[in-house]
């Protein structure tokens, strides 16, 4: 029990006086490594269920593909809608259940939820390829729901934890940067490693070996639980909030629907949620459609498809040393707005350069170049975005007098989950008119399906689809940040002064690693 008490310790006068430093950043980073060990793995769900498992018994591969993609689109949309609804429910519970004295409001959820997440990710990849279609659908739905519940119990409190580790805007930005580094570490390891494991090597079929994903899921789950325990033990909470006193001062108990209504009057939170929605839509297409494109245009390089995701992360790595300096000089809003134009440029390049007509590795490289600009487009926003959510939490407290991290973060997360659901569903539905055949046409020489065999013009159509999505999504993000999101550098300073937390954030003390 002593181990547990230390793991879930909350803010105290003693902890509030501790300097914020590299230990906080690294251990907070471990949390997103743990989250993405599970979350990044689920980007392979569509490949597993549409190319390996399938939801159709139709002998015609074109018709079977259309049926499978349509069924998957409906399944994932419904699941993600529940996923989105589930987030504010968990967030409401986090705010409703008051922590014991000296105990963290968020860490107990992370501590216990991490154990369930170990196995939940693997349940999404149970290989029952020969099972009847209705059974496949049931297994798919149940596996995802269990994973979603475990992931939400961990992820919502983890995101809210940022706001109680420090209230200093620059230190929050630093935490957000390290959180993004954690996501990148997990994303790059899985993005590069998983394709080498699950795609056929030494062949030009581009086919997936889906039965291997359940083992990958278990390994990732074990790594994840270790990371979450490091997070709980290593981070120090400094922002002391008496949640019960806040309710008594207001003369009311926690009201979930009133808190939810307050979120929708929070211009900053709503507009930044929309920004994240369109960023995630672009990323959903990048993660799935880019892999599909390489499978069909360059099938002999399918095992290299993870490079697409790696290239989108490399610009973020390049920006990391400058992220905090950019925020200090210009402000978070200002630093995040203009890079979106590079994402628009990535879409234009995809439209005008037919990489599929360039043979071999040169064609792959030409296709990957827009991915670098796409990565630059999301770089600053991805690095400091979680700090902007913490700012939105402060802004809601500034407006309402109540600090409700769980509801704000969870409702923001609801928007993200809706984007992921709509994105996954849109990928599925929009691939159908491109002529894309999930699983590929039958190779007459072997009698087996091959992803390399697709109807004429499919690879061109898929590339154009990806380019159009980039242009639309990044243009909307640019407009929202420039004209709607209202927490510029000056406004944030006013909010911080009004809340009067400077003394609790050790604002004038130098961080250990400065």
Is the pLDDT at 224 greater than 60, yes or no? yes
Per residue in 420-450, pLDDT tens?
Answer: 778 888 999 999 999 999 888 878 887 778 8
Of 186 and 312, more confident = 186
Least confident of 38-47, 254-263, 335-344: 254-263
Burial class (CB in 10 A: 0-12, 13-18, 19+), 245: exposed
Q: Which residues contact 54 (CB under 8 A, 6 or more apart)?
A: 64, 68, 129, 136, 438, 439
Residues 401, 242: Cα–Cα separation, whole Å: 12
Can you give the pLDDT at residue 6?
67
Q: What's the pLDDT band for 263 if we cut at 50, 70, 90? A: confident
| Three-class secondary structure assignment of 250-312 | HCCCCCHHHHHHHHCCCHHHHHHHHHHHHHHHHHHHHHHHHHHHHHHHCHHHHHHCHHHHHHH
Per residue in 155-178, pLDDT tens?
Answer: 888 988 887 888 787 788 788 888
Can you give the pLDDT at residue 486?
92
Can you give the pLDDT at residue 125?
93
Residues 312, 310: Cα–Cα separation, whole Å: 5
Q: Which value, in Å, is the radius of gyration of the alpha carbons in the chain?
A: 23
Q: What is the CATH number of domain 2-239+253-500?
A: 1.20.1250.20
Q: Which residues contact 178 (CB under 8 A, 6 or more apart)?
A: 25, 26, 28, 29
Of 508 and 258, more confident = 258
Q: What's the pLDDT band for 510 if we cut at 50, 70, 90? A: very low
End-to-end CA distance of the chain: 36
Is the pLDDT at 394 greater than 70, yes or no? yes
Q: Among residues of the chain, what percentage have pLDDT more than 70?
A: 88
User: Would the CA dihedral through 149, 152, 157, 161 be positive or negative?
Assistant: positive
Q: What's the pLDDT band for 503 if we cut at 50, 70, 90? A: very low
Can you give the pLDDT at residue 507?
35
Can you give the pLDDT at residue 499?
82
Do 88 and 252 meet the contact criterion of CB atoms below 8 Å apart? no
Bridge partners of 442, per DSSP, are: 449
Residues 132, 120: Cα–Cα separation, whole Å: 23
User: Number of helices (H) and strands (E), helices first, in the chain?
Assistant: 19, 2
Is the pLDDT at 217 greater than 70, yes or no? yes
Percent of residues in the chain assigned helix, strand, coil, to nearest 5 = 75, 0, 20
Is the pLDDT at 40 greater than 80, yes or no? no
Average pLDDT, integer, range 251-255:
57
Which SS3 state, helix, strand or coil, does residue 441 take?
strand
């Amino acid at each position: 029990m002593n181990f547990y008490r230390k793991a879930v310790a909350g803010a105290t006068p003693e902890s509030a006086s501790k300097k914020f430093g590299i230990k906080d950043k690294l251990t907070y980073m471990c949390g997103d490594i743990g989250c993405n060990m599970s979350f990044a793995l689920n980007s392979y769900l569509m490949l597993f269920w549409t190319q390996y498992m399938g939801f159709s018994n139709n002998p015609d591969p074109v018709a079977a593909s259309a049926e499978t993609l349509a069924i998957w689109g409906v399944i994932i949309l419904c699941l993600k809608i529940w996923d989105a609804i589930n987030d504010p429910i968990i967030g409401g519970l986090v705010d409703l259940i008051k922590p014991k004295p000296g105990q963290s409001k968020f860490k107990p959820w992370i501590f216990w939820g991490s154990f369930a997440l170990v196995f939940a990710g693997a349940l999404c990849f149970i290989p029952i390829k020969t099972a009847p279609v209705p059974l496949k659908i049931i297994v798919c739905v149940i596996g995802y729901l269990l994973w979603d519940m475990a992931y939400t119990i961990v992820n919502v409190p983890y995101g809210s934890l940022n706001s109680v580790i420090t209230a200093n805007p620059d230190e929050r930005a630093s935490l957000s940067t390290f959180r993004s580094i954690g996501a990148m570490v997990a994303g790059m390891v899985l993005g590069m490693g998983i394709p080498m494991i699950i795609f056929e090597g030494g062949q030009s079929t581009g086919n997936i070996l889906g039965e291997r994903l359940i083992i990958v899921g278990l390994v990732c789950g074990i790594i994840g639980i270790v990371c979450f325990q490091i997070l709980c033990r290593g981070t120090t909470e400094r922002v002391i909030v008496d949640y019960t006193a806040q309710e008594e001062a207001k003369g009311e108990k926690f009201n979930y629907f009133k808190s939810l209504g307050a979120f929708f009057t929070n211009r900053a939170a709503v507009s930044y949620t929309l920004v994240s929605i369109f960023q995630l839509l672009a990323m959903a297409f990048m993660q799935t459609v880019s892999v599909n494109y390489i499978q069909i245009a360059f099938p002999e390089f399918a095992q290299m498809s993870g490079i697409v995701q790696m290239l989108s992360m490399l610009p973020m790595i390049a920006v990391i040393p400058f992220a905090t300096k950019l925020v200090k000089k210009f402000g978070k809003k200002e630093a995040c707005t203009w890079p979106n134009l590079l994402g628009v440029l990535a879409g234009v390049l995809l439209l005008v350069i037919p990489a599929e007509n360039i043979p071999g590795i040169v064609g792959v490289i030409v296709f990957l170049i827009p991915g670098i600009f796409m990565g630059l487009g999301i770089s600053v926003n991805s690095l400091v975005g979680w700090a902007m959510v913490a700012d939105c939490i402060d802004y809601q407290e500034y407006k309402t007098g109540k600090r409700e991290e769980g509801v704000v973060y969870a409702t923001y997360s609801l928007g993200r989950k809706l984007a992921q659901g709509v994105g996954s569903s849109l990928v599925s539905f929009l691939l159908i008119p491109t002529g894309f055949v999930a699983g590929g046409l039958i190779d007459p020489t072997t009698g087996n399906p091959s992803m390399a065999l697709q109807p004429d013009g499919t690879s061109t159509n898929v590339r154009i689809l990806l380019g159009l999505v980039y242009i639309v999504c990044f243009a909307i993000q640019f407009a929202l940040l420039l004209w709607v999101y209202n927490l510029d550098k000056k406004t944030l300073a006013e909010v911080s002064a009004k809340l009067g937390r400077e003394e609790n954030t050790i604002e004038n003390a130098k961080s250990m690693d400065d």
